[in-house]
């Protein structure tokens, strides 16, 4: 589904983190959000996910409800000390569609097993999540996303600190979602990944520096402009 930003400003305290951004993530688009540290990338997708308020302007979600949105934060924001198995964490992807804390059905466990197999961690199903490596844990989080079956998928730095095989496998899932006409918005720091795998790119420097096809928007000039815009904000 399309996500439309109408002159939005998002602030922490009195300091705008994102300001006066307008544009649209088209239905079925696969978009990288790039920019220097402090450019507001994570802030933007948290606002789209409904986790941060918009100070001014509007975010229009084309009729999407919360059950239609999947948000994956950076791993550093996730508490892995909670005593839960990989399978149990993956099945949490069913909560919004099932409605509340219900007893798991056999079909739920089967769906979780299929999702874990799709990302190559089904042999870790009964292990505690604290035992997983960074790459294995990210695969588990993507398995949970598979169960959510969301129309809008928001990812914050999903490929950080991953080995190349894990990155390749998870990028394949993104391409599958793109083929299914789901809207995927992904914060990235690796510009090569954006150039090679994302048809659309938003270059952010608190403001929208450039937004469109990756071939047209992602360049040394636009990244320099983003850094310059950020420097003048202080």
Interatomic CA distance for residues 64 and 96, integer angstroms: 13
Go through the domains of the chain in sequence order and give each one's CATH number: 1-64+152-159+182-234 (3.40.50.300)
Helices (H) and strands (E) in the chain, counts: 9, 9
pLDDT score at 9: 96
Does the pLDDT at position 234 exceed 60?
no
| Distance between CA atoms of residues 203 and 41, nearest Å | 9
Q: What percent of the chain has pLDDT over 70?
A: 96
Q: How far, in Å, CA of 73 to CA of 65, rounded?
A: 19
Beta strands in 40-86 (DSSP E): 56-60, 69-72
Residue range 166-215, pLDDT digits in tens: 999 999 999 999 999 999 999 999 999 999 999 999 999 999 999 999 99
């Amino acid at each position: 589904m399309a996500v439309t930003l109408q002159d939005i400003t998002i602030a922490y305290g009195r300091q705008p983190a994102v300001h006066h951004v307008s544009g649209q993530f088209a239905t079925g688009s696969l978009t990288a959000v790039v920019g220097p540290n402090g450019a507001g990338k994570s802030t933007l997708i948290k606002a789209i996910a409904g986790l941060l308020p918009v100070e001014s302007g509007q975010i229009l979600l084309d009729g999407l409800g919360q059950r239609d949105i999947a948000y994956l934060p950076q791993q550093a924001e996730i508490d892995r000390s909670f005593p839960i198995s990989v399978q149990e964490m993956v099945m949490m992807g069913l909560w919004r569609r099932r409605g509340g804390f219900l007893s798991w059905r056999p079909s739920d466990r089967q769906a979780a097993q299929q999702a874990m197999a799709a990302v190559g961690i089904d042999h870790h199903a009964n292990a505690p999540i604290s035992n997983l490596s960074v790459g294995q844990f990210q695969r588990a989080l993507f398995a949970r996303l598979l169960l959510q079956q969301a129309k809008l998928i928001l990812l914050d730095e999903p490929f950080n600190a991953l080995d190349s095989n894990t990155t390749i496998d998870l990028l394949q899932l993104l391409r599958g979602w793109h083929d299914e006409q789901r809207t995927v918005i992904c914060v990235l720091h690796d510009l090569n990944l954006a150039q090679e795998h994302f048809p659309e790119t938003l270059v952010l420097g608190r403001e929208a520096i450039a937004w469109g096809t990756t071939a047209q928007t992602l360049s040394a000039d636009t990244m320099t402009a983003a850094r310059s815009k950020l420097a003048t904000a202080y």
